[in-house]
């Protein structure tokens, strides 16, 4: 019984560590975006103000950032959790039937 509890704690710790790593990655990406895009804007305005090319990296990186945020904050992940639970229950049922 004690070993089972220890395994649950280890699994919970690994899940929490993974979550922290995902959050750090997202916030690092967001911070980089907030620093680099204004720099590109200033560079664009100083070099060629008639051609607004900074919109392209802003748009591309912004779409990537939105996708990263959706993945990090679990938008659309409910189906993954449900499927994992369903497969685990099927595995338990198949072990019981043997």
pLDDT digits (tens, 9 = 90+) for 12-33: 888 889 889 999 999 999 999 9
pLDDT digits (tens, 9 = 90+) for 41-61: 999 999 999 999 999 999 999
In terms of pLDDT, which residue wins out, 97 or 72? 72
Q: What angle do CA 72, 87, 98 make, to 5 degrees?
A: 155
Over 90: is that where the pLDDT of 73 sits?
Answer: no
Report if pTM > 0.75: no
Q: CA neighbours within 13 Å on the CB side: how many for 36?
A: 15
74 Rama sector, left if φ>0, alpha if ψ -120 to 50, beta otherwise: left
Q: How many CB atoms lie within 10 A of CB 68?
A: 16
Over 60: is that where the pLDDT of 1 sits?
Answer: no
């Amino acid at each position: 019984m004690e070993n089972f509890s220890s395994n649950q704690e280890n699994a919970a710790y690994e899940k929490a560590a993974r979550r922290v790593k995902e959050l750090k990655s997202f916030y690092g990406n967001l911070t980089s975006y907030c620093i680099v895009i204004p720099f590109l804007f200033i560079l664009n305005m100083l070099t060629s103000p008639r051609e607004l090319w900074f919109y392209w990296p802003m748009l591309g990186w912004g779409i990537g950032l939105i996708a990263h945020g959706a993945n990090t904050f679990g938008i659309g992940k409910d189906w993954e959790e449900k499927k994992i639970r369903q497969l685990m229950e099927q595995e338990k049922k198949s072990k019981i039937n043997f």
